[in-house]
Amino acid sequence: MVLYTNAAVMLNGVVGPALPAPLGLADAFALFGVFHTYEGINREVAVEAFSDAKGRWIAVDLDEIAPFPRGKRMTRLLSIRHLGTWAFPDLAAARRFLARKIRERVQRLHPDLAVSAVRVRSLTWPRGRDSYEQNQAEGKSVVVYSD
């Protein structure tokens, strides 16, 4: 079974027909590998909480809510089909559930902020010869999900 799973996910139609594999199985292999593909963009994830006490969105320290290496953190926050596969009937419900759990954790860690909502953003910016910060300033930010 382990060999079949590895072959189904790694080959996935590259050599011959694709082997049947559920999407939840593919998420186990969804880590962002260094040499998996070449993209002309950088990608990062950010979490923000709306503080009723401050009346604005504030950045959340990712180490407080997802204390994992960068690739695993992005996989857990962005590729959450495994929640939709078994525990929830659809991806939107899984994302609302995860956003609620993040909000509850931030509220426990920072009760003075009075957090009423959280959102998870995907940040992308072009790779280039200019400085990292300059290219990041030219990037795009998209809300992936929120509660």
pLDDT beyond 90 at 42: no
Mean pLDDT of the chain: 75
pLDDT of residue 78: 74
pLDDT of residue 105: 93
Cα separation, 145 vs 68, in Å, equals 20
Query: Residue 65 in contact with residue 98, Cβ under 8 Å?
Result: no
Domain residue spans of the chain: 1-29, 31-146
How confident is residue 145, by pLDDT bands cut at 50, 70 and 90?
confident
pLDDT of residue 18: 64
20: tokens are 């049947």
16: tokens are 């011959």
Q: What is the pLDDT of residues 96-114, one digit of tens each?
A: 888 899 999 999 999 999 9
pLDDT of residue 43: 80
pLDDT mean over 59-87:
75
